[in-house]
Amino acid sequence: MRAHKSRTLLATLATTVAIGVLATAPASAAPDAHASPATIGTCHRWQDISTFGGWCEGSSPSMYKAYAKCANGHRTRYVYGVVRMAGDSQGSYAYCSSVGLHLSFGGFMLVQ
């Protein structure tokens, strides 16, 4: 009788552990066969004392926007350009002049 209880207890514990492992697996563990990863290609940048922007190569559904860190003394602020489709060559520009500051640095960010 004891051996039967031990085997039942072990089987229950093994099942509980297996369920726990499955329940803690990340939701993204199973790839979506229809999803394509969003990426942007090479970005062509332009900047001056108060503006950062340009356009990025790539294809739909990838989207991006320009961003800029603007500063003047102790004041800093981030500004953003419009969202564009990668490869559209229209470009996205972030204007520090819109907040009365100068460009510190800028870049492009992928928009999900």
Give residue for tokens 């002049």.
Answer: 97
pLDDT, tens digit, 9 for 90 and up, residues 7-28 = 444 444 443 333 333 333 333 3
Parse the chain into domains and list their residue ranges.
43-111
Q: Are 85 and 110 in contact (CB under 8 A)?
A: no
Tell which wins on pLDDT, 101 or 39. 101
pLDDT, tens digit, 9 for 90 and up, residues 23-82 = 333 333 333 344 455 678 899 999 999 999 999 998 878 999 999 999 999 999 999 999
pLDDT of residue 37: 59
Give the Cα separation of 110 and 56 in Å (integer).
10
E strand segments, 30-101: 43-47, 51-56, 63-72, 75-80, 84-85, 92-95
pLDDT of residue 17: 36
In three-state secondary structure terms, 69 is strand
Give the Cα separation of 70 and 84 in Å (integer).
21
